[in-house]
Amino acid sequence: MDLGIRGRNAIVCASSRGLGKACAMSLAREGVNITMMARTKDVLEAAAKEIRDATGVRVTAVAGDVTTEAGRAALLAACPAPDILVNNAGGPPPGDFREWDRDTWIKALDANMITPILLIKATVDGMIARRFGRIVNITSSAVKHPIDILGLSNGARTGLTGFVAGLARKTVGHNVTINNLLPGPFDTSLASSAPSSAARTRASSRGRTSSSTAGRTRARSKPARDPLRGPTG
């Protein structure tokens, strides 16, 4: 099937591995020129070469942190007029909300809500002017089914979803669509380490439960669920 996007230009964030890399590869196979960004330069360069060799499209690798102003500036300098934007960033760590101070919350919101909003702000008007744009935010299935130990992710990604729901109604009339992808667990190198991390977090949380409520807590506890997404790039 020809998706009609050959020759378009795409930004794919956190795309050196995992779902971000898969998105970049899939777009490249449709003839889309790719600008990739991730923090780890050697892994990013290897991924860019793999995609370039497999598809023959133009692939530009920008090493940096998309959650920083400098990182976003470098990314947009490399691709100032994208037709497609894939927002993606690793999720914040699991834990107990009692342990999170204001700085921890701001860091999570900055990475998983504010950064994609700023990239949308920087690119959406150009898409509207060109009468074509596709924006996809990779978030998490926890937006619809929150997980207790992923409160930072639940909050930040749900905030992004609410913002996008309003904006998308205004842009769609200009042939600019904004959608969210809500993945659950999938097979990456992170997946094998996630269960133990979740188990440690839950065990620590249970350890703080008072003796008077410990019995009730155990009685109604459910099987542990794993963190869905973690550091990317």
Could you report the per-residue pLDDT of 160-203, keeping only the tens digit for each?
A: 999 999 999 999 999 999 999 998 877 766 555 544 555 454 44
What's the order of all strands across the beta sheet hosting 9-13? 59-63, 33-38, 9-13, 84-87, 133-138, 176-181
Q: Taking 70 as the threshold, does the pLDDT of residue 232 lie above it?
A: no
Please tell me the predicted confidence (pLDDT) of residue 175. 98
pLDDT top residue among 214 and 113: 113
Residue 120 amino acid letter: I
Q: Is the CB of residue 150 less than 8 Å from the CB of residue 227?
A: yes
Tokens representing 156? Answer: 């930040």
What's the token pair of residue 22?
A: 């898969």
Q: What is the pLDDT of residue 142?
A: 87
* pLDDT tens-place string over residues 17-43: 999 999 999 999 999 999 999 999 999
Is the pLDDT confidence value at 76 over 80?
yes
What is residue 179's predicted lDDT score, i.e. its pLDDT? 97
- pLDDT value at position 190? 55
Q: What's the mean pLDDT in 46-68?
A: 97
> Directed axis angle between helix 115-130 and helix 69-78, to 10°?
20
